[in-house]
Amino acid sequence: MTLTGRAALTTGAAGAVGRAKARLPSQAGARLVLADMVRGPTEDLSREGGGLAVQADLSDPTAVPCMAASVPGQVGRIDILVKNAGVLNTAKIAATTPEEWHRVQSINIDPAFLPSQAFLPGMRAAHWGRVINLSSYAAKSGGLTAGTAYAVSKAAMIGLTISIAREVAGKGVTANAIAPACMMSPMVSEQLTAAQRQTQLAAIPVGRYCEPEEVAHAVTFLAFPPCRLHHRRGDRDERRTAF
């Protein structure tokens, strides 16, 4: 299986999960676009594995159209959109201020919605595309140590994914969300206390955290052409390869 000739945009590329997600599509032959608010680590990743580094605040409605206008001229049409940008918070509902609520939603949802809005028209026109969003088990569990705003934002990510899938499945474009449980990354190691990390670990049946590379492998599978689309026409259920 190969992604040669395809271009993949990963948001939140400077983080541990973003780096892991970017490497595997690159190894499969995809051209990379690495987008993040932080310039240095993104440029380091670009030098390490190739690809175009883009510094952009994807929660800014004015930044995404600029990126959508400039990126295709450098790497071609974006075929694969992997949305990974996000922030953790731990405040439960009574302690969540309106400012914190809006901050988390804008960082976790807007950088998924705005690039989808910008790049989906090209995928639909080409009758091929992949949209892969990073949600979280907190969307279902309410978050063991994660805060209310975070859990709600990840539930919204699933709603966004389903809405996109319903709109574009007939155009050869798939949309999927991955919802890992507790994953070891700076978001966990730096933003949760030792006691919170231990509470999470005790609730995991396998006794360990998920690693970023495990999520990256799921992303790569969902990006490959053999990932199937299912169409229903009349009483017949048709299975088509998405290309």
| Catalytic annotation, residues | 150
The answer for residues whose C-beta is within 8 angstroms of residue 238's C-beta and 6 or more apart is 230, 231, 232
Q: How many residues does the chain have?
A: 243
In whole angstroms, what is the distance from residue 13 CA to residue 33 CA?
A: 9
Backbone φ and ψ for 60, nearest 5 degrees, come out as -90, 115
Q: Would you report the helix, strand and coil content of the chain in percent, each value rounded to 5? A: 50, 20, 35
The answer for residues whose C-beta is within 8 angstroms of residue 26's C-beta and 6 or more apart is 8, 32, 49, 50, 51
Helices within the chain (DSSP H only): 16-27, 39-49, 63-70, 72-75, 98-108, 110-126, 138-141, 148-168, 186-189, 194-202, 212-223
